[in-house]
Amino acid sequence: METEFKGKNIISINDLTREEVDFILDVANKIEKNPKDYKNKMAGKIMIPLFFEPSTRTKTSFQMAMRQMGGSVEDFDVELSSMKKGETLRDTAMMMKGYSPDIMVIRHKRDGSAKLVADIMSCPVINAGDGQNQHPTQTLLDLYTIKELRGKIDGVRIVVAGDLKYGRTVHSLLTALNLYKNCHVICVSPKELRMPLKFINKTNKVRIEERGLNDLKRSLGEIDILYMTRIQRERFPKGPEGDSLYNKISEKYNLTLDMLNNSQNLYIKVMHPLPKVKEIESQVDSSKYNFYWKQAENGLYVRKALLYLTLGAT
Ligand code: NCD
């Protein structure tokens, strides 16, 4: 299957079959175990990262992945680019194509932006988050983490909590779980930030329940994984109305160590795509429930696997 990925774009989790996802996760696992075997696999290859929205983990782990495998990374800073002068994304891509990068990674606030760029470029393009739509590489590392925790993805019982309306990580994750058997997803959110129907409707193999924020506590006893997400203030309407909605919600949305201890669920682990802001009490960081640091680390292995496979290195 290895050669099948060569030249492929990674735009949406919908473009991948279960076999392909499992294969990517297996390659990532080999890379985690034997990083030295992949040390020179990207030699002579150049990546352009086009990040039009803030990023810590996704950008850094892609860059580290490329460099740790011997490749190089072009230094593109949106703040210092001509996008600031009003150049369109399309024009930027048209011009970048002429420079012949080997791979491009893009994050942009507009849904569909990664596809737009992929249709222009002649190298593989990887979506690092397009607006409120998809974040497929985050989902692959989430699946990798779920598998690490449970040995398998089939049958996972998971709460996805927080901003399910704007959060692209949970949109992609829900879509991906539809590839597996007997998954049970409890969507916990305030009523203003419910999971959009278009994602629920596409997920007919997953058992989905929707609950309110007040149900978070009681849901903890029923699951393997609690997947917390940040309330995405920047995607709310601007101005005082948005501010007061944000304040109202973030006051009520808070996971404490006591809640986890009282759940009497010995196996529960907390995941979070990060960044977290106020939604997790700091004591949880040093508790046995925390799995988000390892989850973030897993991004390195999964992104190495994606670079390795899409660039057809052998
Ligand atoms: C997320 C994103 O950008 O969608 N972050 C990430 O990539 N790990 C989540 C967020 O911004 O809250």
Note if 211 is an active site residue: no
169 and 136 in contact (C-beta within 8 Å)?
no
User: What are the structure tokens assigned to 51, written together?
Assistant: 């990040």
Quote the CA–CA distance of 215 and 263 in Å, as a whole number: 12
Select from 251, 271, 196 the least CA-distant residue to 187.
Answer: 196
Give the bridge partners for 182, in sequence order. none
Place of tokens 């506590």: 217
Q: Is 169 in the pocket of ligand 1 (CB under 6 A)?
A: yes
197: left (phi over 0), alpha (psi -120 to 50) or beta: alpha
Q: Are 132 and 111 in contact (CB under 8 A)?
A: yes
85 is catalytic: yes
Q: Which of ligand 1's atoms lies nearest the C-alpha of 58? A: 7
pLDDT of residue 76: 84
Q: Where are the alpha helices (DSSP H) in the chain?
A: 18-33, 57-68, 89-98, 113-120, 136-150, 168-177, 197-201, 216-219, 240-252, 257-262, 292-310
Is the Cβ–Cβ distance between 11 and 40 less than 8 Å?
no
Using most ligand atoms within 8 A of CB, pick from 126, 135, 280, 293 the residue to mutate for ligand 1: 135
pLDDT at 313: 78
Determine the residue type at 11.
I
For residue 292, what pLDDT is reported?
A: 98
**Radius of gyration over every alpha carbon of the chain, rounded to an integer in angstroms:** 19
33 is catalytic: no
pTM for the structure as a whole? 0.96
Atom of ligand 1 nearest to the CA of 167: 4
Q: What is the tens place of the pLDDT at every residue in 211-252? A: 999 999 999 999 999 999 999 999 888 999 999 999 999 999
CA dihedral 87→90→95→100, nearest 10 degrees, is 140
Nearest partner of 43 among 9, 76, 66, judged by Cα: 66
Region 59-88: what's the mean pLDDT? 90
Is 241 within 8 Å of 172 (Cβ atoms)?
A: no
Sequence length of the chain is 314
Query: Residue 75: what pLDDT?
Result: 85
Query: Residue 314: is its pLDDT beyond 80?
Result: no
CB 252 within 8 A of CB 215: no
In which region does residue 58 sit, left (phi positive, over 0), alpha (psi from -120 to 50) or beta (all else)? alpha
Please state the φ and ψ torsions of residue 206, each to the nearest 5 degrees: -100, 140
Q: What is the mean pLDDT of residues 246-260?
A: 95
Closest CA to 126 of 225, 287, 10: 10
Interval 277-285 mean pLDDT: 96
Q: What is the layout of strands, in order, in the sheet containing 125-130?
A: 72-73, 46-51, 103-108, 125-130
- pLDDT for the residue numbered 162: 98
Mean pLDDT for 9-34 is 97
Q: Decide: 299 in ligand 1 pocket, CB within 6 A.
A: no
Pairing of strands 269-271, 225-228: parallel
**What does the block give as tokens for 218?**
């009681």
Q: Tell me: pLDDT of 80 over 90.
A: no
Concerning whether 135 is annotated as a catalytic residue, the answer is yes
41 band by pLDDT with thresholds 50, 70 and 90: very high
303 is known as an active-site residue: no
In this structure, are residues 84 and 141 in contact, taking their beta carbons and an 8 Å threshold?
no
Query: Residue holding tokens 């759940």?
Result: 263
State residue 81's pLDDT score: 78
Q: Is 164 in the pocket of ligand 1 (CB under 6 A)?
A: no
147 CB near ligand 1 (under 6 Å) = no
Query: Is 162's C-beta closer than 6 angstroms to any atom of ligand 1?
Result: no
Q: What pLDDT, in 10s, does the model give residues 103-158?
A: 999 999 999 999 999 999 999 999 999 999 999 999 999 999 999 999 999 999 99
| Residue 275: cis peptide before it, omega within 30 degrees of 0 | yes
- pLDDT of 83 > 80? The answer is no
Q: Does residue 273's CB lie within 6 angstroms of at least one atom of ligand 1?
A: yes
Distance 299 CA to ligand 1 centre (A): 12
